[in-house]
């Protein structure tokens, strides 16, 4: 009788091979698609020979693209209202620092006008973002 009972019992082992296969396929899919999911404003930055800065926390970035459109981080902002947006964004921050990214085709006068708006908003530190010479091909 013992022999018949043991043959009719369901198998208690889990076959993990299909689970591992599915997880590996999902991992590969996420690894391939993750770089494509980065969104941002397309800007052709000027090139310099300076070294990259280390960043600890998320900072405010003002971007000017080739069409002279102004963005605060990823949000499009009217240049006339930039000062108000910056004042609102930096009100609760201790470190009042902004980075400025401007396309190389934007006239210098327009960039200076935006820099003046940033300074008038009470920003203490303004950094210019450039691209290293060797990174560009």
Residue-wise pLDDT tens digits, 17-66 = 888 999 999 999 988 888 776 556 666 766 666 665 555 556 788 999 98
Q: Using one digit for the tens of pLDDT, what is the confidence trace for 87-132?
A: 888 776 667 788 999 988 999 999 999 999 988 888 878 888 877 7
The dotted CATH code for 47-135 is: 3.30.420.270
pLDDT at 73: 85
- Percentage helix, strand, coil for the chain under 3-state DSSP, each rounded to 5: 40, 20, 40
Distances (CA, A) of 81 to 87, 114, 116: 10, 11, 13
- Give the Cα separation of 114 and 80 in Å (integer): 9
Structure token pair of residue 114 = 């935006």
Of 25, 113, 134, 137, nearest to 62 (Cα)? 113
Structure token pair of residue 104 = 């190389």
pTM for the full model? 0.56
pLDDT at 23: 94
Domains of the chain: which residue ranges? 2-37, 47-135
């Amino acid at each position: 009788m013992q022999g018949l009972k043991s043959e009719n019992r369901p198998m208690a082992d889990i076959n993990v091979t299909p689970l591992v296969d599915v997880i590996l396929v999902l991992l590969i899919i996420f690894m391939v698609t993750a770089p494509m999911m980065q969104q941002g404003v397309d800007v052709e930055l000027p090139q310099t020979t300076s070294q990259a800065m280390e960043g600890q926390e998320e900072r405010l970035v003002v971007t000017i693209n080739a069409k002279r459109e102004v963005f605060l981080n990823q949000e499009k902002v009217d240049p006339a209202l930039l000062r108000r947006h910056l004042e609102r964004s930096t009100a609760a921050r201790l470190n009042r620092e902004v980075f400025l990214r401007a396309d190389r085709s934007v006239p210098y006068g327009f960039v200076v006008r935006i820099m003046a708006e940033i300074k008038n908003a009470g920003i203490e530190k303004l950094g210019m973002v450039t691209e290293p010479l060797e990174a560009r091909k």
